[in-house]
Amino acid sequence: MSPLPEARDALFKVFARGLFRRDMDLLYTAATEDFLWSWHDGLLATKALRGGAAILAHLDEQKSLFSEQAFHEVAYHHLPDTSFMTFRVSETLRATGARREQQGIERYTFRDGKIAAKDVYRKPVA
């Protein structure tokens, strides 16, 4: 059974705090030990991240790739066994200064009261 929407919202807050602080111990209080983050950015890459070291390497890569990255219009949508997050993201490529806008959706699944998987799909905004 998946956590109730209120519990999921609390998990997402802790998970995000762990990501933004680069605190994998905190992140893994909201995620299962075998948490899998699948990521497709619509232009540059497809990845499967498993484990704190892989997540930190991904965050480092994003920081080196973008001089600016901001998320907008973030909204969570809860279904019985899955949650979705919709968003827009504005990014500036560090190497060229080029700006890009993408829209995306993240699909979350749960196990044992924690986040088990995060599947990210993004595409350029027309």
Residue 103: C-alpha distances to residues 11, 53, 58 (Å): 23, 27, 19
Q: Could you report the per-residue pLDDT of 49-106, keeping only the tens digit for each?
A: 899 999 999 899 889 989 999 999 999 999 999 999 999 999 999 999 999 999 999 9
Domain range spanning residue 73? 5-124
CATH number where 31 lies: 3.10.450.50
Give percent of the chain with pLDDT exceeding 90: 79
Tokens of 57: 């390497």
3-state secondary structure of 44: coil
pLDDT tens track for 15-24:
999 999 999 9
- Cβ atoms of residues 51 and 65 within 8 Å: no
Total structural domains within the chain: 1
pTM for the complete prediction?
0.88
CA–CA gap between residue 109 and residue 119 (Å, rounded): 9
Q: What is the C-alpha separation between 98 and 54, in angstroms, rounded? A: 27
